[in-house]
Structures are given as structure tokens and as C-alpha cells.
A and B are shown apart, each in its own frame.
Chain A
Amino acid sequence: MNLTLKIWRQVSPVKKGKMVSYHVTDVSPDMSFLEMLDVLNEKLILDGDDPIAFDHDCREGICGSCGLMIDGVAHGPEQATVCQLHMRSFSDGDVIDIEPWRSGGFPVVKDLVVDRSAFDRIISAGGYISAPTGTAPEAHATPVPKKDSDAAFDAATCIGCGACVAACPNGSAMLFTAAKVAHLGLLPQGQPERDARVLRMVGQQDAEDFGGCTNIGECSAVCPKGISMETISRLNHDLLGALRAGAVPAS
């Protein structure tokens, strides 16, 4: 099939960007979306043009590197990462808009590449259980009810791609933060730091350039791992609990 791509080109964080049109021909329906961009890039390189920069790595939907707004939808028409999107989801003659994640919290690095280090800082603020190497008790010392363990796992599958932020009309990172708060808060090992964790992580999220959560739910609708809005309820529950208990962040 033949397609027209309108792609956001921006040379650097400080330069102004714009949409540029490209025509791609003979696209196979079995190609992945990123392979289609690879083919275009090889052509651009041979023509002496600057290839389109985009983040990608594992190309199997688990590393969280890739992420594009495709026709205004984070990761495009399938609820999966862009690398798992195949061209069979499109038709001959389609015009496709391709943009980077748009959020104050994710400044553009170049073209479709953005800086998501704000996510790392949110984890750094409290998204962990303090268990220095060598201090662990025998794994079976604390049984964990299967339903808690399964729910923790579901929240823990977040890959940190940032689609939730890109999709949110407020540019909120709440689903990302909530997934980690829920994962760790559901486990017995996560209890000692539960109050401090939610306060610090929400504090860091607010310190970054993200918007607030108003429970719209676009985040969960585009999440390639299907992280549920229930995690946000859990975060709010933990946050209110911590504030009511008079917890104060240690830092």
C-alpha cells in the first residue's frame, strides 16, 4: 500500500518544529509501524536528508522506549506499543499524522524523541522498597495471598512509556505514579514505607511539569499494558490515609 506520513520534525529542543509530509510506497501489511519508518529513514539517508529520530529498542512491547502519537492517539489504533502495531491496521491511501508525546513534563529532544527522565525522578523519590542487598529474609517467610500478589503484578507491568501522560488532556502522570504506588502498597514488604512513598512520589510528580489528575481515564484507555484506573483509586486511598495519619515526608 501507499501512504502519506505527516511527521513532526524538530532539530533540537530550542528550535521550532513543524509537520513535514513524506510519501511511502509498497508498504507491506506485515511490517511493523517502526519497520515502515526504518524503510523511510534508509531512503532519507541515501537522499542526503536527515533521518527521522525516534526512540525504540526491544521492539517487542516491553522496554517502553517507543511511543508516538499516531493520528492523535498515543501508540496508535491498537492498544499496544507502537513497535507492536502492524501496517495491517492501515489502508492504502491513508494519511497518517505522527507526533512526539506532548507534555510539559516530556520536553522534545529531537523529532519524535522526548526526555522522560521525570519518570525516573518520580521512582527515585519513593518508588521502591528499601531492601539493601544481603538483608533479605527467606522468601517463604512471608506468604502473600495470591490475589494481592496478582493485583500487585498487574500494576507492576507498567513499562514507563509515557503514553498515559501523552493521552491525558491535563498532561498528568498520575497513572504512572499510581501503578508503582499500587504495586508496592499491595505487598506486605511494601507496608513500612507506604505512607512516605505516596507522599514523596506525588510530591515529585507535582514538582515536574505534569498536570493534575481529574479522573478522565484517557490514560488507561491507551495504556499498552492495560494498567487500570483502580490504581489511581488506590493511590488516592493511600494518600488520604497518609495525610490523615499525619505522615510527613522524610526528605
Chain B
Amino acid sequence: MPLELFTVGEPIADTKAPTDVPVPQMWEERKFRARLVNPANRRRLSVIVVGTGLAGGSAAATLAEAGYRVKNFWFQDSPRRAHSVAAQGGINAAKNYRNDGDSVHRLFYDTVKGGDFRSRESNSYRLAEVSAAIIDQAVAQGVPFAREYGGLLDNRSFGGAQVSRTFYARGQTGQQLLYGAYQALERQIGLGNVETHGRTEMLDLVVVDGRARGIVVRDLITGQISTHLADAVVLASGGYSNVFYLSTNAKGSNVTAAWRAHKRGALFANPCYTQIHPTCIPVSGDYQSKLTLMSESLRNDGRVWVPKERGDDRDPRQIPEAERDYFLERKYPAFGNLVPRDIASRQAKNVCDEGRGVGPTGLGVYLDFTDAIERLGRSTIEAKYGNLFDMYNRITGEDAYETGMRIYPAVHYTMGGLWVDYDLESNIPGLFVIGEANFSDQGANRLGASALMQGLADGYFVLPNTLANYLADGPFPKVAADHPAVVEAETAVRTQTERLLSINGTRTVASFHRELGRLMWDLCGMERSEEGLRKALDRIPEIKHEFWTNVKVSGEQGVFNQNLEHAGRVADFIELAELMCVDALHRNESCGGHFRAESQTPEGEALRDDENFAYVAAWEYTPDGTPPVLHREALEYEYIHLAQRSYK
């Protein structure tokens, strides 16, 4: 690796997990050692929460219930719109209601293995440990999970697991869990415990005397730029899949809050770990603005196949069994269609690369329900997946009960994010990062139904304990509105906004976003190679230069201006893209969602290099032109034996 792309700094370590006790006792021990804040003192302490998804919404509600003064910010018109609402499949919990051998230890094991041994054992264990309480909490709030005739909760199995531990609410689990958190938040708003700032976007972090003390925001309706101060800042601003332009994320999902915190000193960990979801509706044309996911739960009953022969363009119903290749069942007999997402995605790509893809573009595989409908009856399939079949019909105009679906992988989730310790605190004291925005407990690949689990675990159960430990030192000295750090941050935001509006070039923001997205999908997508990544790293600075000299942003600053919002987000995506490629290039191994062409087994499976890469790559931002600094956090596996993942 040539030195010019990055430099290596001091290693870092998580200093908060009590490593003197065994992993199963760590969380209890941490909670016990954490300092507490007397209920009477909590109302003197204020916390900014950015975001209202599963992590942010549950955190804001829980902190307000505890008695802290919460200031909550979101960019949509209502907290109920956060992108968690779109999660379909379900949420894992180690309840063992099926009596099928599940346990906290097994969920822990599945998470670490599913993450391809690139997550912390301590964090993954805690996630599994608190999972059961999430279900209890959601049920108490009135979340209408699917139930059986006896009135008890139903479960299904999900990719990467051999037990049935996924709780679900038809194909709208994220929506229902989010509304549970949203309603708890609205209750606190009604009680006057939360100061709300809707349609407001965070554009910078204010760091005073080494502590995160506030944020600079733009009111999206009036365009007013202002600073809000508090004793601590919590980022729950989601993932960055939209760096690929086409992804399953909502159009507004962006990296801006996290990226601007990164530019203020927060380390960004494992940015190259992105998850490509195997079951999305294929692209139909250039105007395409987003991709639609079909819940992975469909793989419980749907069978994935392509024709055995290349170029076989017959109607799928006319292709006899003997001429079909159920490639996941053939290659992975133990897990079949339920292999983890990274494997299912890459295998779909492989058969399409062989020329056996289906549909108008050749970039698709069949997900076929014929057998399940014969076995269970159409009404059962309708009850389980009706809304997904309807959605498919609406987008493609096809009836999946008759013809099956066509699916293709799409970017869906990002495992990378801001670096945090066991307390979910970044390297900037007082800046906490929760949910998808942090680099998470998911390692290099997230298992299905684990994102909802992590978001709610962080917001309901983890952060409220660890944040108290930090706030026990507060309240911190009041920051004056004209403090140099505040003035500097606000000025930086104003300057950037004015600059974007003054370029008045010849290309739209969206055209840059599309170009960047295509480049990232081709060169830093499902398969990465040194050659491709170097090409991307040559091209991205050119895109950046052209953006800052030739973009055309319409309108003015002091008004409702969606084009200006988009411009700021794309500017950050361009910078993030560069770091993603550096991270992907430096990690010369394959692991989970990061597949390097140079590092595979003879059978074409991801080949890890534990000797050289069993670490978290946490990147430090350095000002323009100088290479980022790599800080390594070593990963050690004491409970789960490091092994080549096998789902055969």
C-alpha cells in the first residue's frame, strides 16, 4: 500500500467495557460501575438528539422519561417518517419461544459469525442480551406483532440463522416498531419534556474544550442557520447507502450529520462495510430514483433460481424443473435459500455475470413461490407476504403469485459509521452515536432482522445507562452564544451554503449524485479490486472538483430550498466516497459485505486474512489534500473461535 493514500496513527482501544469480567457479565458490570444521576439533578442536564428513527426516537423518549431535558431534531416533517419506518422483515430476539435451541449465547454466536468476525464480542453479546427486553417493551407499547391463534407471538426464521427467533408485524415490522417509539416520544412531547425541531437539518458539530456541546442547524423552512447547545450530543442520523445514489434508502437519508462530526474529529470506522441486499426489484431505466426492497423473509418460502442455460428467455413457467438451477440450494445445502445476505447477493451477481440472469436487463434472478403455494395454499402466502406481492405488482405490473418475482441485489445498509466505544461514545467526549450511524455491532455483515434490534437496543436500553455515566460530571460550564467555537462553526456553515449557491454552473446536483453512485456501485460495490478502487480514487477528486466549480444550485438560502439541501448532502457523499475507497483498498482481504476479488477461496467464497486484518479501521479526518490517518482497534475473539464462515 503506497503511503500517499493514508498514514498510520496510534492504535485505539475501547476503554469502557469491563474486560476484567467474562463477556456474559460485562453489561451488568458496566451498568453497575456506571455513575448515576440523581432524578432531581436530571432536569438540569440537557441532551441533543439528532434523528427520530428507531435509535433516535427510542433514545429521545427514554431520556425524556428519565427526566433529562431533551432537544430533538429531524429533517422530515414528522418524527414518524424516519427511514426505520421502511424496514419490513422483523426483529430478532433470543426468547427461545420455539424451544428450538435458541439462547443469548446462540444469538451472540450468530451475530459474530454473521458479521464475519469483524465485530466486537463485547458489543455483540450485549446486543443479544438485551434483545428479549425489546420485544417486551414493544408489546407493552401496543406494537401489533403477528400472533398465533392461541394469542401468543409468532416467529419466523431469517437468513443466517437456523432457529426461529424473528418477531414480525406482517411485512411492516419497522413501521410498527417505529410508531411504538414515535408514540412514546409524542407522549413526552405532550408532557413538555422534549423541545422539538422538525424540518431542521444538522450541519455542524460544536466542540468546546474538547467536549461535544452543540450543533449548528438550518431550519429547512426559513433557511435560518442557528446553534443549539447542550451537555451532550447524540447522533442517530442513520446510514450512508445513498452514496450509491440508487439504494433502498429513503431519498433524504444522508451522511451529513455524521460526516460533519467526522470533520470535527470523530473517527469514522470501517466505511467500506456496506450491505448489499439480495432481494430487491431490478432497475428499470435511467430515470430510476431509488430501489425497492422486498423483505428477505420472502426467502423463507421463495426459491431462488435461474435457467441452467445462458440466454434462456422463455417464460419462467415454461422452463421445466430439470432445466432450472436452484443455485443457493445447490451450493449451500444446509442453509439453502437462507444463507446470509452477502453470500446470496454475490451468488446472484455471479450467475448474472455468467449470462444466466433473467428479465429485460439480464440483471435479475427468479424468486419463485410455486412450491410454497402448492404446499401451504395461496391464502397462507397472502397472509404472510400479501403487501410485498402487492408492492411488487404495483412497481412492475406483474403478478408474482403467477410468475414469481424477479430480484436483484441493491445497497441496503451500511455497517460502517462513526467509531464508538462500549458506551456508544465517540472519541469526542460527549458525542454519542447510536443505531446505523455508528460502526455498530454488526461487523462486516449484518444478519437479517438485526438492524431493528440494534437501533432499539441502543436507544431504549444501552444509551440511557451509559449517557448517565457521562452526564454525572455535568452540567458543564455554560457556553456563550458568541463563544469562538460557536461563531466559527456557524460561519463555516454559512460560508459553505453561500458558496454552493454562488457557483451557478451547468450541471444539476442530481447529475453529480448519479455519476458518483454509478462509480461507487461499479468499483466499490459487490466486488472490489485494487485496479477498480484505484480508478475510483483517481476519478472521485475530479468529480469533487467539478462539483465545486460547475454545480448549479437553484434558489436562495433564506427560503425552503430542497435543491440546496440535496447539494450539501451530495458534497459530503463525494468526500465519504473517497474514504470508502481508501478503506476498501487498504483492507486487502474479503470479509462479509466487503469482497475483494484478490482474496477468495478456490470455491469463490470470501477469504479473510485474520493475521493482518482482524481489526476495526477507524479513520481520522485531516484537512483537504492530506491523507486520512488510520487508527487500528485490534479485535480479539475469546468466546467464539475464529473460523472460516461456512453455510454449506
Q: Is A109 an interface residue (CB 8 A)?
A: yes
Question: Is there contact, CB below 8 Å, between A38 and B391?
Answer: no
Residues facing B in A40-75 (CB within 8 A) are: 41-42, 44-46, 48-51, 53, 55-65
- A36 surroundings in chain B (CB, below 8 A): 287
Q: Is A235 an interface residue (CB 8 A)?
A: no
Choose one: B133, B292, B559; the contact of A60 (CB below 8 Å).
B292
CA distance A135 to B148 in the complex (A): 25
Choose one: A28, A34, A84, A128; the contact of B184 (CB below 8 Å).
A128
CA distance A189 to B562 in the complex (A): 41
CA distance A12 to B287 in the complex (A): 29
Q: Is A143 an interface residue (CB 8 A)?
A: yes
Choose one: A109, A150, A187; the contact of B142 (CB below 8 Å).
A187
Question: Is there contact, CB below 8 Å, between A153 and B170?
Answer: yes
CA distance A31 to B81 in the complex (A): 23
Which of A117-125, A166-174, A214-222, A237-245 is near enough to bind chain B?
A: A117-125
Question: Is there contact, CB below 8 Å, between B186 and A129?
Answer: no
Question: Is there contact, CB below 8 Å, between A42 and B186?
Answer: no
- B149 surroundings in chain A (CB, below 8 A): 146
Q: Which residue of B lies closest to A127 (CB)?
A: B183
- B395 surroundings in chain A (CB, below 8 A): 84, 86
Question: Is there contact, CB below 8 Å, between B186 and A140?
Answer: no
- A234 surroundings in chain B (CB, below 8 A): none
Q: Is B322 an interface residue (CB 8 A)?
A: no
Question: Is there contact, CB below 8 Å, between A60 and B142?
Answer: no
Question: Is there contact, CB below 8 Å, between B86 and A60?
Answer: yes
- A38 surroundings in chain B (CB, below 8 A): 287, 289, 510
Residues facing A in B568-590 (CB within 8 A) are: none
Q: Is A88 an interface residue (CB 8 A)?
A: yes
Q: How large is the interface on B (under 10, 10 to 19, 20 to 34, 35 or more residues)?
A: 35 or more
Q: Is A14 an interface residue (CB 8 A)?
A: no
Could you tell me the dominant secondary structure of chain A's interface residues? loop
Question: Is there contact, CB below 8 Å, between A51 and B562?
Answer: yes
CA distance A224 to B120 in the complex (A): 43
Question: Is there contact, CB below 8 Å, between A128 and B141?
Answer: yes
Question: Is there contact, CB below 8 Å, between A59 and B183?
Answer: no
Q: Is B77 an interface residue (CB 8 A)?
A: yes
CB distance from A78 to the nearest CB of B (A): 7
Choose one: A34, A50, A61, A117; the contact of B555 (CB below 8 Å).
A50
CA distance A184 to B151 in the complex (A): 16
Choose one: A44, A109, A160; the contact of B221 (CB below 8 Å).
A109
Question: Is there contact, CB below 8 Å, between A59 and B290?
Answer: yes
Binary interface encoding of chain A residues 186-198 relative to chain B, with 1 for a CB under 8 A from any of its CBs, else 0: 0101100000000
CA distance A31 to B287 in the complex (A): 7
Residue pairs across A and B with Cβ atoms less than 8 A apart, 17 shown, are A11-B559, A34-B289, A38-B289, A45-B563, A58-B251, A60-B248, A60-B293, A64-B80, A84-B391, A115-B77, A117-B198, A120-B78, A120-B186, A124-B187, A129-B183, A153-B170, A189-B140
Name A residues whose Cβ lies closer than 8 Å to a Cβ of B: 11-12, 28, 30-32, 34-36, 38-39, 41-42, 44-46, 48-51, 53, 55-65, 78, 80, 84, 86, 88, 109-110, 113, 115-117, 119-120, 123-125, 127-140, 142-146, 149-150, 152-153, 156-157, 159-160, 183-184, 187, 189-190
Name B residues whose Cβ lies closer than 8 Å to a Cβ of A: 58, 61-62, 65, 76-81, 83, 85-86, 95, 97, 133, 135-142, 144-153, 169-170, 172, 175-176, 179, 182-184, 186-187, 189-190, 198, 221, 248, 250-252, 284-285, 287-290, 292-293, 391, 394-395, 397, 460-461, 464, 506, 508, 510-511, 552, 554-555, 559-560, 562-563
